Structure 1
Amino acid sequence: MFALARLLVIGFVVLTIIYVCLSFYSRAVRRGKLEAEWDAARGPGNRESFVRAGLQDYDSSLRRKLILGVYVIPTIAVGLLIYFTNFA
């Protein structure tokens, strides 16, 4: 039982680190694309306000929610592996 608890805690910590890194990377890529889009079109208004508005749209987007798959997919894979190893 202690081994399972240790696996869960270490797994959660590792997945959290991966999630944070992936989230920062995805946000930086989106920021770069917004800045490039504004530079190419010389959009109306201020560049910073354009980027800020685009990042607010990104915060509620599906892509940001899909990053939570970092927790779901490995957890299901480990659960299936444990199940098939012990009961199949």
Structure 2
Amino acid sequence: MFALARLLLIGFVVLTVIYVSLSLYSRAVRRAKLEAEWDEAHGPGDRDTFVQTGLSEYDGSLRRKLILGVYIIPTIAMGLIIYFTNFA
């Protein structure tokens, strides 16, 4: 039982590091795209305001929520592997 708890704790820490890294990377890519879009079109208003508005829309987007799959998919896969190894 201690081995399972240790596996879950280490797995959670690793998945958290991966989630934070992916989240920051995705946000940086979105910021770069918004800045390039504003530079290309010389958009209305201030550049920083345009970027902040775009990032606030990104925060509520589906893409941001899909990054949570970093926790869900490996957990389900590990559970299925453990189940089929022991009970099937």
Pairwise TM-score range, normalised by the shorter structure: over 0.9
Unaligned runs of at least 5 residues, structure 2:
none
**Aligned sequence identity (%):** 80
Q: Counterparts of 2:84 and 2:23 in 1: how far apart (Å)?
A: 32
- Equivalent in the alignment of 1:64: 64
Structure 1: distance between partners of 2:23 and 2:11: 18
Matched residue type, 1:83: Y
Match of 2:34 in 1: 34
The letter of the residue matching 2:31 is: R
* Structure 1 residue runs of 4 or more that deviate by more than 4 Å after TM superposition: none
- Deviation, 1:85, is 0.3
Alpha-carbon offset, residue 58 of structure 1? 0.2
Q: Which runs of 5+ in 1 are unaligned?
A: none
Question: For residue 55 of structure 1, what is the aligned residue in structure 2?
Answer: 55
Q: How does the TM-score come out when normalised to structure 2?
A: 0.99
Residues of 2 paired with 1:76 and 1:43: CA distance? 44
Report the alpha carbon displacement of residue 2 of structure 1 after superposing the two structures with TM.
0.2
Partner in structure 2 of residue 76 of structure 1: 76
How far off its partner does 1:86 sit? Answer: 0.2
RMSD over equivalenced CA pairs, Å: 0.3
State the partner residue of 2:11. Answer: 11
Take 1:12 and 1:65, find their aligned partners in 2: how far apart are those partners? Answer: 18
- Number of aligned residues: 88
Q: Report the equivalent of 2:45.
A: 45
Amino acid at match of 1:60: G
